[in-house]
Amino acid sequence: MALLRDGGARQVGGYELGSGRDDASPAVMNQVGPNGAPMAYVPPPRPPVPLLRRRGVIVGAVAALCVIVVAALAAVIVLRPQHTSGVLDGGGTPSEAALPSYAIADERTLDPPETLNALTFSPDGKLLATGSGYSRNTQLWDVDTGEQVAELKGTSPCAQEFSPDGKLLATGGCAGEETGVQLWDVRTEDKIATITKNDSEDLAFSPDGKTLATIGNNPHDGLRLWEVSTGDEIMHLDMEDAIDFTFSPDSATFAVTPSRADLDDPFRAELWDMRSGDKISSFTVNGGTVTYSPDGKTLITASCGGTVSRWEVRTGDKVDSHRLVDCFDLSFSSDSKVLAIVNLEFEEPPGTTLWSVETGDRLLTLSTQEAYHVAFSTTGKAVAVNTSLEANTHDEIVLWRLK
Which residues are within 8 A (CB) of 317 and not within 5 positions of it... i.e. 6 or more apart? 311
Rounded Cα gap, residues 311 and 300, in angstroms: 6
Closest among 316, 277, 289, 276 to 374, alpha carbons compared: 289
User: For position 52, what pLDDT does the model report?
Assistant: 40
Amino acid at 19: S
The domain segmentation of the chain, as residue ranges, is 3-41, 52-80, 104-402
Omega before 349 within 30 of 0, i.e. cis: yes
User: For position 95, what pLDDT does the model report?
Assistant: 40
**The residue count for the chain:** 403
Distance of CA 179 to the CA centre of its chain: 36
Strands 394-402 and 137-142, bridge-based pairing: unpaired
Eight-class DSSP state of 295? T
Other beta carbons within 10 angstroms of residue 29's beta carbon come to 14
DSSP string spanning 341-392? EEE-TTSSS-EEEEEETTT--EEEEEESS--SEEEE-TTSSEEEEEEEETTT
Q: Does domain 104-402 have CATH number 2.130.10.10?
A: yes
Contact between 189 and 146 under an 8 Å Cβ cutoff? The reply is no
* 68 phi, psi to nearest 5 deg: -65, -45
Closest among 384, 338, 341, 375 to 98, alpha carbons compared: 338
Rounded Cα gap, residues 182 and 154, in angstroms: 10
User: For the chain, what is the largest distance between any 2 Cα atoms, rounded to a whole number of angstroms?
Assistant: 133
Contact between 138 and 128 under an 8 Å Cβ cutoff? The reply is no
Rounded Cα gap, residues 88 and 318, in angstroms: 12
User: For position 372, what pLDDT does the model report?
Assistant: 85
User: For position 131, what pLDDT does the model report?
Assistant: 86
Task: Express each pLDDT in 242-288 by its tens digit.
Answer: 888 999 999 999 999 988 777 788 889 999 999 899 999 999 998 88
pTM of the model: 0.72
User: For position 92, what pLDDT does the model report?
Assistant: 38
Contact between 383 and 402 under an 8 Å Cβ cutoff? The reply is yes
Task: Express each pLDDT in 303-345 by its tens digit.
Answer: 888 899 999 999 999 999 999 888 889 999 989 999 999 987 6
Written as tens digits, the pLDDT of the chain (403 aa) is 333 333 333 333 333 333 333 444 444 444 444 445 444 444 444 444 444 444 444 445 445 554 454 444 444 333 333 332 333 333 333 343 455 688 999 999 988 877 788 899 999 999 999 987 667 789 999 999 999 999 998 887 888 999 999 999 999 887 666 678 999 999 999 999 999 888 888 899 999 999 999 988 776 678 899 999 999 999 998 776 788 899 999 999 999 998 877 778 888 999 999 989 999 999 999 888 999 999 999 999 998 888 999 999 999 999 999 998 888 899 999 899 999 999 876 666 678 999 999 999 999 999 988 888 899 998 889 999 988 765 555 678 999 999 9
